[in-house]
Copies of this chain bind each other. A is one copy, B any other.
Amino acid sequence: MEKLIESNDQEDAIYFHRKPLPETCIDFSSSEGKQVFSEALASGYMECYFKLSSQFRTQDELNYCGLTSLVMALNALDVDPGRLWKAPWRWYHETMLDCCIPLETAQKEGVNMAQLYCLAKSNGLHPHAVNGKDLTLDRLRQEVKHVTKREDVVFIANYGRSMLGQTGDGHFSPIAGYHENRDLVLILDTARYKYPPHWVSLEALLDGMKDIDLNTGKPRGYIKLTVANDQTSPPPPPTLSELQMGSKMDDSLSQLLTKDPVLLRILLEIMEMKLQSSYN
């Protein structure tokens, strides 16, 4: 837990315009960060970076780090949610991850490893979770080297922030690159109102993964995500003719609309879409 008041003096400000990164972390956009990035890019351990950074986003809620990391993964891996975000677009947003755990609970308490696993599985991904206690530095390094050379895998780390010298408690964020000589990983921190993306030593990340999540009593770790092989195509969105209201609507569709609130919502969104003039 981050303290509301950073000293005993109540006169101190309790609001923050970001936090300074600790010395253990290298700001992605600093001179050193740019140098590390260039070298890592040349080494081939930044293949995962392009699709992930294309989908880098800020968590909309203070406890959404897990959900936002998963949204980044789903959009980076080009998963079709098979349902609308805003008409006419199908697109993943945190608010669409309302299964496994009520969204309201996730907003208040965040999610744990098991819940994130469930959410990933429910949304067309094949998750592979590893508990921090089973990790050695060598094993983690091999894994990071493997995933950063690919663009069809997303690696989400779950770690205690204090082991990285940062304020705050448990956190989820994707790893987007690796610098071999300096043994550094690039964290695309979803809490961008707090810390910018940064490089940190693999060793510190491992310590963070071995941190015990006090809510579950278990160590943290990581989840590796790929698109599930057995993923069926998303249900085709309804066509306009299917949804046309009026004399042509057949009985079975009419019954569906009456019984299925999701389909009804889609219909309402189409109606709304008709009123809109552009979709940029």
A65 to B280, alpha carbons, bound, how many Å?
7
A171 part of interface (Cβ distance < 8 Å): yes
* Known contacts A12-B239, A80-B17, A280 near B29 by CB under 8 Å: no
Of A139-147, A191-199, A200-208, which stretch is located at the interface? Answer: A191-199
Q: Is the CB of B278 within 8 A of A16?
A: no
Enumerate chain B residues within 8 angstroms of A16, measured Cβ to Cβ: 88-90
Task: Place the interface of chain A in its size category.
Answer: 35 or more
A17 CB contact (under 8 Å) in B90, B240, B274: B90
Would A90 and B1 count as touching, CB distance under 8 A? no
**Is A251 on the interface with B (CB-CB < 8 A)?**
no
Majority secondary structure of chain A interface residues (helix, strand, loop or mixed): loop
Contact A2 B278 (CB under 8 A): yes
Q: Is A61's CB under 8 angstroms from B86's CB?
A: yes
Instruction: Spot the interface stretch: A47-55, A219-227, A252-260.
Output: A47-55
For A239, list chain B residues within 8 Å (CB).
Answer: 10-14
- The reply to whether B14 and A29 contact each other, CB–CB distance below 8 Å, is no
Partner of A91, one of B61, B88, B193: B193
A241, CB-defined interface residue at 8 Å: yes
The complex is assembled from copies of this chain, and their number is 2
CB distance from A86 to the nearest CB of B (A): 6
Contacts of A29 in B (CB 8 A): 50-51, 54, 151
**What is the distance, in angstroms, from A220's C-beta to the closest C-beta of chain B?**
13
B-chain residues with CB within 8 Å of residue A191 when the two chains form the complex:
280
Contact between B15 and A237 (Cβ–Cβ < 8 Å)? yes
Give the complex CA separation of A234 and B15 in angstroms: 12
**A57: interface (CB < 8 Å):** yes
Partner of A41, one of B38, B170, B236: B38
The distance in angstroms between the C-alpha atoms of A110 and B279, with both chains bound, is 11
Instruction: Find residues 215-265 in chain A having any chain B CB closer than 8 Å to their own CB.
Output: 234, 236-237, 239-241, 244
- Residues of A at the B interface (CB closer than 8 Å) are 1-2, 4-5, 10-18, 28-29, 33-34, 37-38, 41-42, 50-51, 53-58, 61-63, 65, 75, 78, 80-81, 84-91, 108, 110, 151, 161, 168-171, 191-194, 196-197, 234, 236-237, 239-241, 244, 270, 273-274, 276-280
13 cross-chain CB contacts under 8 A: A4-B273, A10-B244, A12-B239, A15-B89, A28-B54, A37-B50, A57-B58, A62-B89, A62-B276, A108-B276, A169-B280, A170-B278, A171-B280
